[in-house]
Amino acid sequence: MSNPSGEDAMKMNAVPVEDSSLASSAPASRGVRVRTITAGVAMEHKLDRDAVVRALEMLARAKTRFEAEGYEVQTTRITMPPVIAVLDARARRAALADIAAIDALVASKGAVCSLGPVLIADRADDDLASWSAEMVKATTSTSFSVMVASAAGGVHARAARSAAEVMHAVAGAVPDGKGSFRFAAAANIPAGTPFFPVGWHEGTSSLAIGMESADLVRAAFADATDVEDGRRRLTERMTTELRAVEKIASASAAGEKVRYGGIDPSPAPMGDVSIGAALEALSHVPFGDAGTLRACAVVTEVLKSIPVLQCGYAGLMLPVLEDKVLAKRAIEGRYGLRDLLLFSSVCGTGLDVVPVPGDTSMETLANIILDVAAQSVKLRKPLSVRLYLAPGAKVGDPMHVNDPLLTDAIVFRA
């Protein structure tokens, strides 16, 4: 999932990106950008404001350490254990005030946070959708998810319906459907994932890193003589860059006396920093044409081979509204939602910021979620579903979100 990012006082309601809050797209002085430094906050049975304060202080120090080494750090993030998921409806509503207070604290430091999955069990939850809308209205920087597949339970069919209800509710909670950017259905997403909106925490406090490296992928492929040469070039460059990042991150975690959670090497794109362009540099065909699946597979295979401690998706991200080349190819009609599902079989994220009509039926949303959940279970990999329900839009309509960090696209058939 996941993973845009500038971390001034941008608000998630106004800045709907991977998990929202993207900074400048100016070139970094190093070969990659740090999309996120994410602190996993240990909590027992309730939301712990003091623990969040300590985590924010740790993130500030870690950011300073990376910037001193020449890295652009786009966001800092907080992930929490799923303490909301164990509450009944009444207690969950009572927790809204605490959630809003933590949200305000985190936003005041230019960071964003995630509650993690608010529903873990495979069950219906009649109150969850309305609660989710209230939570989105009461906050500006808080993401969350619903677990729709797990290693122990397989596909969570009833929870998938609940997730579809939440998608509808949050899309209408704030203007222009922007609440859609803060929620995803999460299938087999492991604890420690640094990308939002699916990030969540488990166990002792930790520090993890998410990368933006789409430009590195494109550069590695640009001069390749064939696919295998591209694979070799990308492996060499990615290994060099991620080892350097890991050295700083692990030292920072050690200095803070927290667990080092690893790096999610997923090459998150943003705007002109396009993973679509990178894939086309390898395949030599427009994204969506025959040859795209192989290019996607090569990138994911390389990412998983890099000899650093890995976490999260560790695969290719294809966020339609955050990547100019992906958006352009969608407008050209070269691929659709079903093609993205196919690419997910060899990628890492699933369906991410894919615009669909705002009046898409609950049944259709639930079935899309179930398809991704089934794929996740079959392939034993983390996937997620984050759809942008475009208010008043029909299939094929031009898609424009009034935000400089997002690109124009087209409304997909759900």
Residue-wise pLDDT tens digits, 61-103: 999 999 999 999 999 999 999 999 999 999 999 999 999 999 9
DSSP assignment string, 57-107: HHHHHHHHHHHHTT--EEEEEEE--S-GGGS-HHHHHHTHHHHHHHHHHHH
pLDDT at 107: 97
Band of pLDDT at residue 45, cut at 50, 70 and 90: confident
Q: What is the residue extent of each domain of the chain?
A: 1-414
Rounded to whole angstroms, the Cα distance separating 245 from 248 reads: 5
pLDDT at residue 125 tops 50: yes
Is the domain 1-414 a CATH 3.40.50.11540 member? no
Q: Report which of 179, 172, 183 is spatially closest to residue 145, judged by C-alpha positions.
A: 183
Write down the mean pLDDT value for the chain: 92
pLDDT at residue 391 tops 70: yes
Interval 349-373 mean pLDDT = 97
Residue 307, burial from CB neighbour count under 10 angstroms (0-12, 13-18, 19+):
exposed
Q: Give, in degrees to the nearest 5, the angle at Cα 70 between 19 and 219.
A: 70
pLDDT at 360: 97
Partnered with residue 75 across adjacent β-strands are 36
Band of pLDDT at residue 26, cut at 50, 70 and 90: very low
Partnered with residue 355 across adjacent β-strands are 388
Rounded to whole angstroms, the Cα distance separating 202 from 200 reads: 7
pLDDT at residue 1 tops 90: no
Minimum mean pLDDT range among 137-141, 194-198, 242-246, 401-405? 401-405
pLDDT at residue 9 tops 80: no
Q: How many CB atoms lie within 10 A of CB 318?
A: 28
Band of pLDDT at residue 22, cut at 50, 70 and 90: very low
pLDDT digits (tens, 9 = 90+) for 127-179: 999 999 999 999 999 999 999 999 999 999 999 999 999 999 999 999 989 99
pLDDT digits (tens, 9 = 90+) for 213-222: 999 999 999 9
pLDDT at 63: 98
Supply the pTM of this predicted model: 0.91
pLDDT at 29: 57
